[in-house]
Chains A and B, each alone.
Chain A
Amino acid sequence: MLLNSEGGIVPTTDADTTFRFIGCSEIQEILGKQAADERQLAELLEEVPLDSVYYHTHSYFLRSRFIERTYPNDFAQWVAQQLQDHVLAERLSVVDPFDFQSLEALREELISLIDDHLSGMRTVPRATFGTPFYFNRSRILEVPTGIGVQTLREFRNAIEDVDSSAIYFHVFEAHLRLQRKENDFSAWFRGSLNLPDLADRLKALNPYLGSLERLRSNVLTMCDEQLAKSASVEKV
């Protein structure tokens, strides 16, 4: 087995081990359904397409790649900001899409949580002064960036500058929308570079707890640590 300078395996077959970065671009579609109170929110959550559930739990990361807001999904943010129901907002905010294997399961959890919350309320919190919740969904266009890498160092250098939509695509889209078992980065480290430890660490990274830029920074740190480790192994 040949080791490359970074500690990963040099491929000995003809299989293409190049990682090609794919970015994405989104347009938002207005579904024309709106909730003015928490009961309507639950009812509409039940009937909107899964694309809409995905949009309201994920697209914020693509839309606001730099700033982390108080609550990680649109439902919690609306309930807190427009209804001032901070208890439900907090309960919705701990629903972590990372824990769900399908969007249907995620939808059920959100509905059940709102129902449970409403069963203990005398009145249904309503957006009397605020704006209603507008259900949207997104249409995503894959855009190949033309950037391909074959080693960890090349990957590290590419990820430093690649459009952050590529990070979104390979991490968020890979998980729930495209239903891949792990994010594309960790799958490549595992399958092509034979770096299972780095792959495991990257797979365990919860992307929902930060912004795309924070995620970029975390991936960079992991790559740098791995490169330093590989360099020290090589010296020994």
Chain B
Amino acid sequence: MWKPAFVSRQVYNNPLPISLNTVVGLTEEARQMIRELEQYREVAPKGTIDFLYRLSDLVRDKRFLHISSVRYGGGMAEILRRIVPIMKTMGIEASWEVIAGTQEFNDVTRRITDGLQGREETITEEMYQIYLDVNARNAKALNLDADLIFVHDPQPAALVDHRKGGTWVWRCHLDAGQPYRPVWSLFRRHVLKYDAAVFSLPGFAQRLPIPKFLLYPSIDPLTEKNRELSRGEILQVLDRFGIARGKPILLQVARFDRFKDQIGTIRAYRMAKKHHPCQLILAGSGVLHDSEGEAVLAEVQQAAENDPDIHVLQLPPEADREINALQRGATIVVQRALKEGFGVAVSESMWKGKPVIGGTTGGVSAQIVDGATGFIVHSVEGAAFRIRYLLSNPGVMTRMGALGKEHVRRNFLTTRHLGDYLTMVKLLCPE
């Protein structure tokens, strides 16, 4: 008879463990973290936080170690900064180590990262040795003793060569679906030493003889980028950027990169504007020290042709509140890239109650429920048509926005991510 792949059964009757009034011996830091976790109760679906406490009880005795190359910058670091302390508060021995590298090491790992994402890169024997040596030094310096060791991205991946115990999982945050073969062949030998690999989308994975899991990124509803803003705060940002009030706003948030196709969005806006007065905001970063970004920005500005209703905003990477305000002030969000990673800007926008028009690339179509929370389109014309449709039907926009918010609440918040991690610890670590 067919049996399920894995079902864990435990008898459980304990009451909920967490109550600030009754638990003794907690440090002030732990109390603060519990308070923060309790704040998620207001934004997560009902029952979620209690469910997470229950889930954490199943893995209370497990040691869960994350290893990455950076502690700040990037979505992964943002999530770990939040999730690791919460896990500790829940009684799990969670920890996070960051490897130490050198400038040469950083140069090599940048090449490996680019190569895994499809760019032609050469890794010489000497470069590869630098990669191995730095990982070996870190293996000696770090305490790698844990039940589940989660290694993020290529930089620390060779630590697995020095594994002693525990379950080792490689977490790939990149789109490695079409890598530059020579780089992948070199790197694959390390991945094969892991017990499992985790990718953000099935299309981002390579054929491997180890189990491969799917784990969607998430957004944190309590951070500056996603927290509730007052109307005054939103208007203040819009005014600062000279955005007119009372005219529908189309918004694309993406770094200035050819694959993000801001020019295509301008074309869609122009088609729609023939029928509806509207304005377009193209907000993004990626220009600093990046000649290609500068070139794309110049092209976008040229395509805007001094149209006063097109606002090209070059924002610094830390402009979280500004992006939050722009997303909240927008009428429709357009995230139609030619090549995309997971594209969490889609979830960020839906969390703010906005209908999103997105393309089929990357994780965009995994986030939008076509026809319910927005539209998936295949062309500039498709985007233009859907913009017109939505601007003509404000009721549909309201309904889609509300559905989108609920969809994100259940599928793309930190709380879901935390649940995924806890489940992995339980399912992947032997009793």
List residues of chain A with CB under 8 Å of any chain B CB. 23, 25-30, 32, 34, 49-51, 63-70, 81, 102-104, 129-132, 134, 136-146, 148, 161-166, 177-179
Contacts and interface: CB of A to CB of B under 8 A. Distances in A.
Interface stretch (B50-58, B66-74, B125-133, B309-317): B50-58
Interface stretch (B41-49, B94-102, B276-284, B325-333): B41-49
Contacts of A51: 4-5
A163 B207 contact: no
A30 B212 contact: yes
Contacts of A64: 369, 407, 410-411
Contacts, number: 138
B5 A23 contact: no
A97 to B, nearest CB: 14
Interface in B401-424: 403, 406-407, 409-411, 419-420, 422-424
Contacts of A177: 4, 7
B212 A27 contact: no
B109 interface: no
A145 B207 CA distance: 37
Contacts of B211: 29
B6 A143 contact: no
Interface in B361-416: 365, 369-373, 376, 378, 403, 406-407, 409-411
Contacts of B5: 29, 49, 51, 137-140
B50 A67 contact: no
Given A130-B360, A144-B11, A30 B202 contact: yes
Contact of A26 (B58, B205, B410, B423): B423
A143 B427 contact: no
B47 A161 contact: yes
A25 B212 contact: no
Contacts of B371: 70
B47 A134 contact: no
Contact of B423 (A69, A102, A141, A164): A141
A181 to B, nearest CB: 15
A63 B411 contact: yes
A32 B9 contact: no
Contact of A143 (B1, B51, B370, B409): B51
Given A66-B409, A142-B8, 17 more contacts: A23-B51, A27-B215, A27-B424, A29-B5, A34-B202, A65-B45, A129-B360, A134-B202, A136-B214, A137-B5, A140-B4, A141-B58, A144-B10, A144-B11, A144-B13, A146-B54, A163-B51
